[in-house]
Amino acid sequence: MRLDKYIGVDQNIEFIKRDCKLWLKETKPCKTLFMRGMRISDKTFFKKKVRQDRKPMNMDDEEKEMIDNGFKWKFGWRPRTEGLFITTDTSEARGYGIIHWVFPIGNFNYLWSKEVGDMYADIPTVIGKLRRTRGMSKIHWARRLPDLYTDTNICGATKTGNEVMVKCSTYYALRAVLEYEYEEEVWKKIYK
């Protein structure tokens, strides 16, 4: 079955092309789609606001605030609180729910790290490594953690499969239809 047999896909792609021009321009050289796992199962395409009050499940409020403050100082925003977390790693995305391809609408910023694959999963390991190898206190590693991140070359994140933290107000999510089979076809429809 071809992708164009799915009702509404072409119309949805037109919304993406119209509203996500900045994202498409930045990510076209990557030649892949960014995705996230979501627990939404009844919609194939939707527009969603990014939460501005995210509460991480794997760290206490003090650590979250210190990390966010470090990122705010270096990059001007708080990714643990304000970020949309995406990846190009299908198995990583699937671990969080049903895979959706994601397209930020309008202006956006992003951060990613060669050393941190998934902040949710890797942060305790990275923190432990910073503490052991550099003898850093909690406040010091929180200030140094942003040094492991960059806000350039988003395509570099596709080579590692590491997460990308995106600051945007809204985004489109298109449910991945048999992601391995149709990703290339969806990419061509969007980027060509």
- Distance in angstroms (rounded) separating the CA atoms of residues 14 and 99: 20
Identify whether the C-beta of residue 175 lies closer than 8 Å to the C-beta of residue 43: yes
- Distance in angstroms (rounded) separating the CA atoms of residues 111 and 150: 5
Helix axes 179-191, 9-19, angle to 10 degrees: 50
Q: What is the pLDDT of residues 82-128, one digit of tens each?
A: 999 999 998 889 988 999 999 999 999 999 999 888 876 776 676 66
pLDDT at position 95, please? 87
Q: What is the pLDDT of residues 60-79, one digit of tens each?
A: 777 778 888 889 999 999 99
Measured between alpha carbons, how far apart are the two ends of the chain, in Å? 22
Residues whose CB falls within 8 Å of the CB of residue 137, separated by 6 or more in sequence, listed in order? 131
- Distance in angstroms (rounded) separating the CA atoms of residues 97 and 100: 9
- CA separation (Å) from 94 to 33, 43, 175? 14, 17, 12
pLDDT at position 5, please? 46
Q: What is the pLDDT of residues 26-55, one digit of tens each?
A: 999 999 999 999 987 678 889 999 988 776
pLDDT at position 89, please? 92
Q: What is the pLDDT of residues 2-24, one digit of tens each?
A: 444 444 677 889 999 999 999 99
Q: What is the pLDDT of residues 122-149, one digit of tens each?
A: 766 766 666 665 556 666 777 778 999 9
Placement of tokens 């609180």 in the chain: 81
pLDDT at position 50, please? 95
Neighbours of 55 (CB within 10 A): 10
Q: What is the pLDDT of residues 165-192, one digit of tens each?
A: 999 999 999 988 755 567 888 888 888 8
The pair of structure tokens assigned to 52 is 């501005």
pLDDT at position 129, please? 65
Q: Single out the residue of 171, 144, 172, 168 nearest to residue 77, CA to CA.
A: 168
